[in-house]
Structure 1
Amino acid sequence: MKEEMVQLAGQTVKVVTVQTAVVGSGAAGLNAASRLFSFGRRDLTLVTEGMNCGTSRNTGSDKQTYYKMTLAGEEADSVQAMAETLFSGGCVDGEHALAEAASSVRCFLRLVELGVPFPDGPYGEYVGYRTDHDLRRRATSAGPLTSKLMTEALEREVLEKGIPILDGYQAVRILTIGGQAAGLLCLNCKNPQSAKSRWLLVNCRSLVWATGGPAGMYLDSVYPAGHWGSTGAALEAGAAGQNLTEWQFGLASVSPRWNVSGTYMQALPRFLSTAPDGSDPREFLLDYFGDPASMCNHIFRKGYEWPFDVTKVRCGSSILDVLVFLETKRKGRRVVLDFLENPGGGELDAAALEPQAREYLTAAGACFGRPIDRLLQMNRPAVDFYRSRGVDLTKEPLEIALCAQHNNGGLKVNSWWETTLPGLFAVGEAAGTHGVTRPGGSALNAGQVGSLRAARYIAAKRTQPPMSATAFLNAVSSQVEALLTTPVDQDAESIRGQVANAQRRMSEAGGPFRRETGMAAALKEAQAELAQWGRSPVLPGELSLSFRYRDLLLSQQAYLFAMLSYLKNGGKSRGSALYHDPQGTLPTGLSEEFRHSLAEKGSEAIQEVRLTKEGPCALVRPRRPIPQREDFFENVWRSFRETGNVDGL
């Protein structure tokens, strides 16, 4: 890696020349960097806004799930069976399902060897449990902080290998030369006020995009506050998006931001609605269910059916998401989980629970007492987590809301996780390898597998050295000059209100409940704000936020267009999205805004979206099937000896 200082557009700019750059310091980005080093790539660097930022390091749930092929017990499993489960989520390409299944054990056991404490039995079996959208016990967990533990273990390995880290730099634009990714423009987000150290240019041949999903788009979000995402930059550079319509929403605590899934629900807490000041507590679910038994059974099922699922609104656990949404967004009240009293009051009536709930609680030794007693019995670390964040569930309620949690779509990638922009690879949540639904924990596996495959391909095939800094600057100067001269003024107005308004717009129009008129109006507003970006000066301390706002608007333009195009072309409700349909069915007890029609199960059509000079455009294509592959050992071995089985499939 070489560094030099240059003058460009009247600005002092540091230029780093390196063969490969990884952007992002979450579990996928760190794994990409480590794997590249292991495969022999030495001229590389990792670029991050902050090593302690991001979703992997700062998120979790009751027992955060890692999804892999079964490694215990008598239950039969195979690569093909796991691939078929992933493929069955709808809008999934077969090569991604197969790759994520085939390398799941390799990636999982590597994490074990790095020190992530996944539990095994006395004979070394890695026992598992069922998670949502899963038929086998493939799920495992290292506790509420599984992804944090993964990130810490991978970071230790990156540091031990001496991989250079450019910490405190915010990637604001991907630079291209001749239709290929060629580098980055970064802002020094730790010191944006200093004109002498404000900018960094990265000149590279290969770029791994591990920036997570575009979390900054939404106001109602369970993403950690330090996670914004940079999908807009990749879309602007020419990479295509895929399945951008498909998000995952679910119930989460507001402060701290955390999923209230699994045992938080299986402990059967009370759902209380209060006035904004906390007065007038009401057990509002009883208004809908009528009797405590039905209410408790729905709460229990919410534990293993945590994501909002439109197929479970009419007669399933996702009616809870709708009812919480109505209390908070339509009635302006607050909703809290109370673990100090049983739903409906009094003692727990175990006999009234459905068999699955009763048997589960009995097997866990938790069919007694109050919700907090059951939660402590089943999962004490889940209580400890909130206590460490200043919320003591043994003494106080927990405020919740319906929030954006994960983007199942993202950037379109091939079987080696390279995007449609040559030289740019997307891994982790930035890559759109998931479909309409996905098994819980499959995202952690996908991030490890995708970064493994991207690193393997880059190390084997993208071996050309970077161009000279002079040639690079001559080729990209026109792409960066306008951004380098973004007006900064100490007397400028704060843009925080604009950012919050844009996030609120996305939550209202592109959240779990969508209407054509709302999406169209939101898209128009986002495009108008994007056209005005950069015309007014910003505060020096808000330059970083200003560029996040720009990326947010680029992302909103593509995502809202994708949702609107999907609906206009006959799309129906599916996954975590309910599209209003005046000709559809109205679930019992709900208002007109929830009238909808369900899409056919297992949709094969995949939507792709690109941002062009003329505006966003979309196309729909069939999903690709699971590949039929050679499985005769001598032939595979010969191919491996000759080519390493790394090619452009």
Structure 2
Amino acid sequence: MYKGQITINNIPINVYEYNTIVVGSGAASLNAADALFKLGQKDIALVTEGMNRGTSRNTGSDKQTYYKQSTSIKDADSPLKMAKTLFNGGAMHGDIALVEAALSLKSFYKLIDIGVPFPHDTFGQYVGYMTDHDENSRASSVGPLTSKYMTEQLEEEVRKNGTDIFDRFLVISILKDEFNEEAVGVLALDIKNMDEKNYGLSLFNCRNIIYGTGGPASIYYRSVFPKSQSGATGIALEAGVKANNLTEWQYGIASIKFRWNLSGTYQQVIPRYISTDMDMNDEKEFLGDYFKNPTDLLNATFLKGYQWPFDSRKLTNNGSSVIDLLIYIETQIKGRRVFLDFTKNPSCATVSGGLDFNLLGKEAYEYLKNSNAFLKTPIDRLAKMNPLSIDLYKKNNIDLEKEYLEIDVCAQHQNGGLAGDIWWESNLKNFFPVGEANGTLGIYRPGGSALNSTQVGSYRAAELIKNKYYQKPMELDKFITKVNNQVMRKVNLIERIKIEDHKKSNLIEFQERLQKEMSKIGAFIRDKQKIEKGLIMLNKTFKEFTDLVYINDLKELPTVFRIYDMIITQIACLSSILEYINKGGDSRGSYLISDEDGLYEIRINDMVLKFSLEKDFRDKICETVIDENDGIDVFHNWVDVRPIPEYDSWFENVWEEYRQKKIYN
């Protein structure tokens, strides 16, 4: 609630007090707020840059997946079995894998209870399908907008609860008791009320922070994250919050005019891949430069539907990830544009305007046959198997029946992120990163496990707060004393920003230059020397930040802070990548590390890429912390993954520990 106004360095600042501040408005944050309320902790507020801006609300795929323990009669499943699947993906702590598995059904059924229409059969079974890196049929879906439905229903619950919502507030600093390494509040910009008197600065004094700001969406230029999503990993790192697995991302083919993942039937209908010059001239079907056999080209395209993320293990033997690499060469090296054409078949397999289905491999042939999709063109096949996928683009002013769809290989999801324990509490006490901001997931996660993690992690944080951290925040005078210097550091940053009211600000071009460089050197193709040069450039940029940027109006301050956060995150991620390479790590997950002594090679015309796959350090996690002085100093620590807890639990003992709240210690 509003506690009044205080003055710091002659700047009047509004102050609010709550037991818990939930930052963000995606599936994780909204579930945290709802769970807290229903557990009985109602002294809470949700602070968001924009209720409708997040990734959960604005992204999806061909069939967006929710991954949970199987409930089908044909699958023998258990929390332990599911935990082993998560854990076996590598670089994931076993105790966290067990929590995500054990609470998956509780979280899944809650979503059903509040109105998310996951399908079940006549007998009430929520039957599923098998997703990537999965041995059971654990996946369910509401279609391409699963996370949007989740977010909408969760928001409805939060609003029914009457929880205070501070919309259009951008958090710019995590405030802490520096002596005890304990989170005590946040500093935010009230975007609707910024002026020269106080810049819109607002203080939130709280006992706990649940941090659901999403992945660091802005660090790449080639990205499927919505443009409205930026993330705020950087200011958490700045506050001393530990991160892990910052090396681990997923990258995949996506459209770039309207940002959307192009998995599933978008590939299984076997569209034509073409590249052009920047003016859309000099059209060329470039996949034929590598795939000399039409069957190999068709199969790789079809398998992109199942194997949508780039996977370094799928580069050999004409694997599907060669397509991602070929797109990278066209866009990043040759400076061309790449498109999918659904109106024509690949020319190498075209007979009388139709597709020669006899050239397909067995899997692709049987899939299209069973789908009754032996039709003339890719758009005909798409209309048969997934008409909603065409409608989706029409609603975004792209007609796949008439025009090319521009694409690239884009950052899609960060598996790493801020670290937390089995209650999602970080090394900074009372600070809980949840959702994609939290780095629970390892190298190879099953598709849809990220959505489950948003719900499990946010519930766990809420449960711990209700049972352990339920106290009121500290007295206002004590709070101001502890955070005064931290607030002043941000005020000083604001006052050093140049306002050039006679010309347009340079923020957008400044940001895009850094994003393009990150996409070139720190995405799914990684080279040690280029990363070293990139780090030198970024550190210099951070030190000179206020000399390099200028704004036209004070209203652009939020963008300044988003870029500030982005640079910190870029430095931390690139440093983690370099640390992995220096340790001797080979290509793994969704990226390739260029290695002149590599055991494998890909030859495309006069270009040769060598890489290895043996040393993937899947039994370890790289933890990362930063120290901000004149620049950003990054430190890394390698730890062994914790095993999955396996023990004989005795009900009477569990009941006693639960009643006495020993489980929260």
Determine the structure 2 residue equivalent to 1:135: 135
Name the amino acid aligned to 1:647. Y
Determine the structure 2 residue equivalent to 1:247: 249
Determine the structure 2 residue equivalent to 1:647: 664
Is the counterpart of residue 352 in structure 1 residue 387 in structure 2? no
Is the counterpart of residue 608 in structure 1 residue 623 in structure 2? yes
Q: Using the alignment, how far apart are the partners of 1:593 and 1:495 within structure 2?
A: 37
Determine the structure 2 residue equivalent to 1:553: 567
Per the TM alignment, residue 642 of structure 1 is displaced from its structure 2 partner at its CA by 3.0
Per the TM alignment, residue 214 of structure 1 is displaced from its structure 2 partner at its CA by 0.8
Name the amino acid aligned to 1:245. T
Name the amino acid aligned to 1:560. L
Per the TM alignment, residue 197 of structure 1 is displaced from its structure 2 partner at its CA by 6.0
Note closer, same or farther for the CA distance 1:181–1:291 as it changes in structure 2 (3 Å cut): same
SS of structure 2 residue aligned to 1:205: strand
Determine the structure 2 residue equivalent to 1:422: 429
Determine the structure 1 residue equivalent to 2:326: 323
SS of structure 2 residue aligned to 1:190: helix
Per the TM alignment, residue 638 of structure 1 is displaced from its structure 2 partner at its CA by 3.2
Q: Using the alignment, how far apart are the partners of 2:148 and 2:590 within structure 1?
A: 26
User: Would the aligned equivalents of 2:238 and 2:628 in 1 still touch at CA under 8 Å?
Assistant: no
Q: Using the alignment, how far apart are the partners of 1:48 and 1:373 within structure 2?
A: 43
The number of residue pairs the alignment matches comes to 647
Identity %: 44
Determine the structure 1 residue equivalent to 2:389: 382
Name the amino acid aligned to 2:523. G
Determine the structure 2 residue equivalent to 1:511: 523
Q: Using the alignment, how far apart are the partners of 1:437 and 1:81 within structure 2?
A: 16
Name the amino acid aligned to 1:175. L
Q: 1:307 aligns with which of 301, 306, 309?
A: 309
Name the amino acid aligned to 2:646. Q
Per the TM alignment, residue 200 of structure 1 is displaced from its structure 2 partner at its CA by 0.8
Name the amino acid aligned to 1:335. V
* Per-residue deviation, residues 410-463 of structure 1 (Å, max 9, x unmatched): 011100000111110010001110111111111000110000111101111102
Determine the structure 2 residue equivalent to 1:107: 107
SS of structure 2 residue aligned to 1:272: strand
Bigger Cα displacement from structure 2, 443-452 vs 112-121 = 112-121
Q: Using the alignment, how far apart are the partners of 1:567 and 1:455 within structure 2?
A: 38
User: Would the aligned equivalents of 1:31 and 1:452 in 2 still touch at CA under 8 Å?
Assistant: yes
* Per-residue deviation, residues 305-331 of structure 1 (Å, max 9, x unmatched): 110001111221100100111111111
Determine the structure 1 residue equivalent to 2:205: 203
SS of structure 2 residue aligned to 1:296: helix
SS of structure 1 residue aligned to 2:304: helix
Is the counterpart of residue 520 in structure 1 residue 528 in structure 2? no
Per the TM alignment, residue 506 of structure 1 is displaced from its structure 2 partner at its CA by 1.1
Name the amino acid aligned to 1:326. I
Determine the structure 2 residue equivalent to 1:405: 412
Name the amino acid aligned to 1:52. N
Determine the structure 2 residue equivalent to 1:431: 438
| Superposition TM-score, scaled by structure 1 size | 0.97
Per the TM alignment, residue 593 of structure 1 is displaced from its structure 2 partner at its CA by 5.9
* Per-residue deviation, residues 59-117 of structure 1 (Å, max 9, x unmatched): 00111111111122412222111111100111000011111111111111111111111
Q: Using the alignment, how far apart are the partners of 1:194 and 1:159 within structure 2?
A: 33
User: Would the aligned equivalents of 1:312 and 1:318 in 2 still touch at CA under 8 Å?
Assistant: yes
Counterpart mapping for 1:36-115 below 5 A: 36-115=36-115
Is the counterpart of residue 483 in structure 1 residue 490 in structure 2? yes
Dislocated runs of 4+, deviation >4 Å:
none
User: Would the aligned equivalents of 1:12 and 1:197 in 2 still touch at CA under 8 Å?
Assistant: no
Q: Using the alignment, how far apart are the partners of 2:607 and 2:461 within structure 1?
A: 47
User: Would the aligned equivalents of 1:11 and 1:484 in 2 still touch at CA under 8 Å?
Assistant: no
Per the TM alignment, residue 286 of structure 1 is displaced from its structure 2 partner at its CA by 1.8
Per the TM alignment, residue 13 of structure 1 is displaced from its structure 2 partner at its CA by 1.1
Determine the structure 2 residue equivalent to 1:273: 275
Q: Using the alignment, how far apart are the partners of 1:306 and 1:193 within structure 2?
A: 47
Counterpart mapping for 1:521-600 below 5 A: 521-535=533-547, 538-539=551-552, 540-590=554-604, 594-600=609-615
Per the TM alignment, residue 599 of structure 1 is displaced from its structure 2 partner at its CA by 3.5
SS of structure 1 residue aligned to 2:478: helix
Name the amino acid aligned to 2:377. R
Determine the structure 2 residue equivalent to 1:622: 640
Is the counterpart of residue 340 in structure 1 residue 343 in structure 2? yes
Determine the structure 1 residue equivalent to 2:227: 225
Name the amino acid aligned to 1:79. P
Name the amino acid aligned to 1:636. V
Name the amino acid aligned to 1:617. F
Is the counterpart of residue 159 in structure 1 residue 159 in structure 2? yes
User: Would the aligned equivalents of 1:192 and 1:544 in 2 still touch at CA under 8 Å?
Assistant: no
User: Would the aligned equivalents of 2:586 and 2:593 in 1 still touch at CA under 8 Å?
Assistant: yes
User: Would the aligned equivalents of 2:585 and 2:616 in 1 still touch at CA under 8 Å?
Assistant: no
SS of structure 2 residue aligned to 1:534: helix
Note closer, same or farther for the CA distance 1:480–1:607 as it changes in structure 2 (3 Å cut): same
Q: Root-mean-square deviation (CA), in Å?
A: 1.7
Q: Using the alignment, how far apart are the partners of 1:593 and 1:546 within structure 2?
A: 40
* Per-residue deviation, residues 273-327 of structure 1 (Å, max 9, x unmatched): 1222222222211221123222111111110111000111122110010011111
Q: Using the alignment, how far apart are the partners of 1:62 and 1:258 within structure 2?
A: 9
Q: Using the alignment, how far apart are the partners of 1:538 and 1:478 within structure 2?
A: 25
| Superposition TM-score, scaled by structure 2 size | 0.94
Gap regions ≥5 residues in structure 1? none
Determine the structure 1 residue equivalent to 2:173: 173
Q: Using the alignment, how far apart are the partners of 1:360 and 1:404 within structure 2?
A: 29
Per the TM alignment, residue 133 of structure 1 is displaced from its structure 2 partner at its CA by 1.4
User: Would the aligned equivalents of 1:578 and 1:594 in 2 still touch at CA under 8 Å?
Assistant: no
Bigger Cα displacement from structure 2, 349-358 vs 442-451 = 349-358
Q: Using the alignment, how far apart are the partners of 1:349 and 1:125 within structure 2?
A: 40
Determine the structure 2 residue equivalent to 1:263: 265
Gap regions ≥5 residues in structure 2? none
SS of structure 2 residue aligned to 1:444: helix
SS of structure 2 residue aligned to 1:303: coil
* Per-residue deviation, residues 128-178 of structure 1 (Å, max 9, x unmatched): 112111122111111111101100000000000001001101111101113
Q: Using the alignment, how far apart are the partners of 1:155 and 1:599 within structure 2?
A: 45
Determine the structure 2 residue equivalent to 1:391: 398
* Per-residue deviation, residues 224-244 of structure 1 (Å, max 9, x unmatched): 001111001111101111000
Per the TM alignment, residue 572 of structure 1 is displaced from its structure 2 partner at its CA by 1.1
SS of structure 2 residue aligned to 1:304: coil
Determine the structure 2 residue equivalent to 1:9: 9
User: Would the aligned equivalents of 2:13 and 2:203 in 1 still touch at CA under 8 Å?
Assistant: yes
Q: 2:512 aligns with which of 500, 503, 506?
A: 500
Bigger Cα displacement from structure 2, 584-593 vs 3-12 = 584-593
Q: Using the alignment, how far apart are the partners of 2:330 and 2:506 within structure 1?
A: 32
Per the TM alignment, residue 10 of structure 1 is displaced from its structure 2 partner at its CA by 2.4
User: Would the aligned equivalents of 1:456 and 1:646 in 2 still touch at CA under 8 Å?
Assistant: no
Q: Using the alignment, how far apart are the partners of 1:23 and 1:121 within structure 2?
A: 37
Q: Using the alignment, how far apart are the partners of 2:154 and 2:647 within structure 1?
A: 32
Name the amino acid aligned to 1:571. G
SS of structure 2 residue aligned to 1:19: strand
Per the TM alignment, residue 39 of structure 1 is displaced from its structure 2 partner at its CA by 0.9
Per the TM alignment, residue 194 of structure 1 is displaced from its structure 2 partner at its CA by 5.3
Name the amino acid aligned to 1:260. L
User: Would the aligned equivalents of 1:13 and 1:197 in 2 still touch at CA under 8 Å?
Assistant: no
Q: Using the alignment, how far apart are the partners of 1:98 and 1:216 within structure 2?
A: 31
User: Would the aligned equivalents of 2:586 and 2:616 in 1 still touch at CA under 8 Å?
Assistant: no
User: Would the aligned equivalents of 1:88 and 1:602 in 2 still touch at CA under 8 Å?
Assistant: no
Is the counterpart of residue 366 in structure 1 residue 373 in structure 2? yes
Per the TM alignment, residue 203 of structure 1 is displaced from its structure 2 partner at its CA by 0.7
* Per-residue deviation, residues 386-416 of structure 1 (Å, max 9, x unmatched): 1111111122121100111111100111000
User: Would the aligned equivalents of 2:621 and 2:638 in 1 still touch at CA under 8 Å?
Assistant: yes
SS of structure 1 residue aligned to 2:140: strand
SS of structure 2 residue aligned to 1:82: helix
Q: Using the alignment, how far apart are the partners of 1:381 and 1:119 within structure 2?
A: 17
